A and B are shown apart, each in its own frame.
Chain A
Amino acid sequence: MAKLVVENLTKRFGSVTAVDRLSFTAEDREFLVLIGPSGCGKSTTLNLIAGLEEANAGQISIGDRQVTHLHPKDRDIAMVFQNYALYPHMNVYANMAFGLSMRGYSKAEIDRRIQEAAEILGIGNLLQRKPRALSGGQRQRVAVGRAIVRKPAVFLFDEPLSNLDAKLRVQMRAELSKLHQRLNTTIVYVTHDQIEAMTMATRIVLLKDGICQQIGRPLELYTRPVNTFTAGFIGTPPMNLVPARIQAENGKVMVAADSFRLPIPTRWRQAYERLKSMGVIFGIRPEHMRGTREGDIAVDAATVARLEVDLVEMLGSHVQLTLACGPERLIALADPALSVKAGDRIPVVFNMDSMHLFEKREPQRRIDAAPAA
């Protein structure tokens, strides 16, 4: 149990900067998720924390110890790898005992810890088996078991669920969350799956090209993405982002794109009026755009745009509509009872209270109506 502090961490491979002045803190007992597209430097960051790679610059401390230049074994960490990395020539028991016996624990203590971990993970009946005689989920449990017997200050997980099939992944996700509550330790977890990040993290660190984009609680990243990258990365289907202009007329402030012109909610008018006739990126999540039927519209008709349907995907609980907006495509949701087919032009209700605006120029930062509350 300890706090992990990473400061200005930089790692270069030749001319490529894999991690660029990265700073974050994982508080004691926090479940911190590092997420980003492949090649964003999240695994490199984890390797740097583990000591498997040497940083070019920056500091890492665990608890109150500087560990930047320590050997992996002296950092008081344990790591679970994507491909499990079990020792194939040892049985499950020996796999779990290896780290402890290298550290000179007594046989009795090793045995006690393994039995305890085996019980937590439900692998007591597998202890004498070799890894090759285990299923993917079982191997994953053993890999986790090997980490918990060590009782490290910080757990590092490197995409531990990505080799499992979808059903097992959901199950293991829940188990890891429970395990975190039970063990009460600091966890740093790398994944490219934003559902894992959203469901398990106490906080998320979102990386792109080795640079931290945003750090925050899952809902914070979802509701207040700091730039279009975060907006597009968190959430499935991702946030709709279309180029638009801000226009002011008759005391109203409108956001105008290729196929729609919609008023900005009254409370933000003043703040956004300054953007008049400027190009922006308009963002809105699919769940805030509802496809309806003509004559069905109960809400403020002003926030309705008529858009052409490009594709209809029935998902049972709802229908996912792909709508044309000039060269862009927007995704909206609709009630499964709505009968609609590709080529139809239907009214779409925008929930403008949940809209986002971003700057047009890179890095396309969020434009806030008011300072963050």
Chain B
Amino acid sequence: MTDRLHGSARRTIGIYAPLLLFVTFALFPIYHMFLTSIKTDRALYNLSLNPLLVSLGALTAEHYRLLFTDTLFASWLMNSLIVSLSSTAIAMVISILAAYGLTRVRFRGADTFGIAIFITYLVPYSLLFLPLTRVVTWLNLADSLWALIVTYPTFLVPFSTWLLMGYMKTIPEEIEKSAMIDGCNRLQILTRIIIPLAVPGIVCATLFAFSLAWNDLLYSLVFISPTEKKTLTVGVLTELIRGDVYFWGSLMGGALIGSVPVVVFYVMFMDYYVSGMTVGAIK
């Protein structure tokens, strides 16, 4: 009896202790961000206080007020949403078509194409912005959100295509053959059979693509200068650090709000992220 208790206690510690350690490590920055954003500047800069705690008297909403009234934070948030959602949507349409074509339509050079896409994915995107600047200027898109909507897919598409190709390869080919005999053409197979079956893969690719677009700093910084057109990442960074003055409270508040949409999207779609959708198709 004592042995069993002993065993289960050891089991609990064995599982939860490392887990607790990991959760602490992962959530600490968010905790610190949150704390910083609700402390008064006086408490923030007082070196004699514990930086990981806050007293009730030192609470303030001032940093958030500054964010929403003295800066264009709401516009930046909106810009980020528009750009990330549109570029993700564009990238997903292209990627689904490309991934299906490359995995299932046996055309000459399909493999070469697949590898070419992979190589594109390997080109550092921090180098790609140089030539892209010229393209954006030539297209007359500089300083507009379109500059980002058009350029984000350049790194979203190769990434999502590869991810989706891997997923689509797991869908048994016989299902497609069966659909073909049942009277489907390629496009009908894609829309009626493959896409419904690839939902977990598509959700996964969409989430990753959205986060990539949402987190981008470089392209947004390079292609867009007017304050009201800036995305959240660039807006917070450029408008809340003035010279050597850091508006720490508002910076952290902006960063915190900026992470909310990603969290929301992940939580929303996690339910769809059901693997094993193809269980039952074959043996």
Residues of A within 8 A of B (CB): 47, 50-52, 71-73, 77-79, 81-89, 98-99, 102-103, 130-134, 136, 139, 146, 163
Q: Are B175 and A87 interface neighbours, CB within 8 A?
A: yes
In the bound assembly, the distance between CA atoms of A304 and B229 in angstroms comes to 101
Q: Are B283 and A99 interface neighbours, CB within 8 A?
A: no
Q: Is B181 an interface residue, CB under 8 A from the partner?
A: yes
* Shortest beta-carbon distance from B158 to chain A in Å: 28
Q: Are B177 and A86 interface neighbours, CB within 8 A?
A: no
Mark interface residues in B195-219 (1 if CB within 8 Å of A CB, else 0): 0110000000000000000000000
Q: Is B264 an interface residue, CB under 8 A from the partner?
A: no
A163 proximity list for chain B (CB < 8 A): 283
With A73-B183, A77-B181, A102-B184 already in contact, the answer to whether A83 and B174 are too (CB < 8 A) is yes
In the bound assembly, the distance between CA atoms of A51 and B181 in angstroms comes to 8
**7 A-B contact pairs sorted by A residue (CB < 8 Å):** A50-B177, A85-B172, A86-B281, A88-B281, A89-B196, A98-B179, A130-B280
Q: Are B180 and A73 interface neighbours, CB within 8 A?
A: yes
* Shortest beta-carbon distance from A172 to chain B in Å: 14
> Which positions 260-283 of chain B face chain A at CB distance < 8 Å?
277-283
> Which positions 226-283 of chain B face chain A at CB distance < 8 Å?
277-283
A133 proximity list for chain B (CB < 8 A): 280
B279 proximity list for chain A (CB < 8 A): 88, 132
- Cross-interface CB contact of A89 among B172, B177, B277, B283, cutoff 8 Å: B277
In the bound assembly, the distance between CA atoms of A81 and B279 in angstroms comes to 16
- Cross-interface CB contact of B283 among A72, A83, A98, cutoff 8 Å: A83
B70 proximity list for chain A (CB < 8 A): none
With both beta carbons as reference points, the residue of chain B lying nearest to A98 in the complex is identified as B182
* Shortest beta-carbon distance from A187 to chain B in Å: 15
Q: Is B193 an interface residue, CB under 8 A from the partner?
A: yes
Q: Is B8 an interface residue, CB under 8 A from the partner?
A: no
Q: Are B182 and A73 interface neighbours, CB within 8 A?
A: yes
In the bound assembly, the distance between CA atoms of A139 and B175 in angstroms comes to 13
In the bound assembly, the distance between CA atoms of A84 and B193 in angstroms comes to 15
In the bound assembly, the distance between CA atoms of A131 and B282 in angstroms comes to 9
With A87-B281, A88-B197 already in contact, the answer to whether A99 and B183 are too (CB < 8 A) is yes
In the bound assembly, the distance between CA atoms of A215 and B174 in angstroms comes to 28
In the bound assembly, the distance between CA atoms of A146 and B182 in angstroms comes to 9
- Cross-interface CB contact of A102 among B182, B197, B277, B283, cutoff 8 Å: B182
In the bound assembly, the distance between CA atoms of A47 and B279 in angstroms comes to 24
Q: Are B183 and A102 interface neighbours, CB within 8 A?
A: yes
In the bound assembly, the distance between CA atoms of A139 and B283 in angstroms comes to 9
A87 proximity list for chain B (CB < 8 A): 175, 178-179, 193, 281
With both beta carbons as reference points, the residue of chain A lying nearest to B281 in the complex is identified as A88
Q: Are A84 and B177 interface neighbours, CB within 8 A?
A: no
Q: Are A84 and B283 interface neighbours, CB within 8 A?
A: yes
The 4 closest A-B pairs by CB, nearest first: A132-B280, A83-B282, A102-B183, A99-B182
Q: Are A84 and B180 interface neighbours, CB within 8 A?
A: no
In the bound assembly, the distance between CA atoms of A311 and B92 in angstroms comes to 64
In the bound assembly, the distance between CA atoms of A79 and B174 in angstroms comes to 10
- Cross-interface CB contact of B180 among A72, A88, A130, cutoff 8 Å: A72
Q: Are A52 and B177 interface neighbours, CB within 8 A?
A: yes
Q: Are A73 and B283 interface neighbours, CB within 8 A?
A: no
- Cross-interface CB contact of A85 among B175, B184, B277, cutoff 8 Å: B175
In the bound assembly, the distance between CA atoms of A86 and B280 in angstroms comes to 8
Mark interface residues in B47-84 (1 if CB within 8 Å of A CB, else 0): 00000000000000000000000000000000000000
* Shortest beta-carbon distance from A32 to chain B in Å: 19
Q: Are B280 and A131 interface neighbours, CB within 8 A?
A: yes
A47 proximity list for chain B (CB < 8 A): 177
In the bound assembly, the distance between CA atoms of A103 and B179 in angstroms comes to 12
Q: Are B181 and A84 interface neighbours, CB within 8 A?
A: no
In the bound assembly, the distance between CA atoms of A158 and B177 in angstroms comes to 12
Q: Are B280 and A85 interface neighbours, CB within 8 A?
A: no
Mark interface residues in B149-187 (1 if CB within 8 Å of A CB, else 0): 000000000000000000000001011011111111000
Q: Are A99 and B280 interface neighbours, CB within 8 A?
A: no
Q: Are B197 and A89 interface neighbours, CB within 8 A?
A: yes
* Shortest beta-carbon distance from B175 to chain A in Å: 5
In the bound assembly, the distance between CA atoms of A103 and B183 in angstroms comes to 7
Q: Are B277 and A88 interface neighbours, CB within 8 A?
A: yes
- Cross-interface CB contact of B177 among A85, A102, A134, A136, cutoff 8 Å: A85
* Shortest beta-carbon distance from B185 to chain A in Å: 8
Interface centre among A78, A86, A89, A139 (most CB of B within 10 A): A89
In the bound assembly, the distance between CA atoms of A81 and B179 in angstroms comes to 12
In the bound assembly, the distance between CA atoms of A86 and B279 in angstroms comes to 10
With both beta carbons as reference points, the residue of chain A lying nearest to B173 in the complex is identified as A85
A86 proximity list for chain B (CB < 8 A): 175, 178, 280-281
In the bound assembly, the distance between CA atoms of A139 and B172 in angstroms comes to 15
In the bound assembly, the distance between CA atoms of A131 and B279 in angstroms comes to 8
With both beta carbons as reference points, the residue of chain B lying nearest to A90 in the complex is identified as B196
Given contacts A83-B172, A86-B175, A134-B280, 16 further A-B pairs with CB under 8 A are A71-B180, A72-B180, A73-B183, A79-B181, A81-B177, A81-B178, A84-B282, A85-B175, A85-B282, A86-B178, A87-B175, A88-B197, A88-B277, A89-B197, A99-B183, A131-B281
A82 proximity list for chain B (CB < 8 A): 174
A99 proximity list for chain B (CB < 8 A): 181-183
With both beta carbons as reference points, the residue of chain A lying nearest to B175 in the complex is identified as A85
* Shortest beta-carbon distance from A132 to chain B in Å: 3
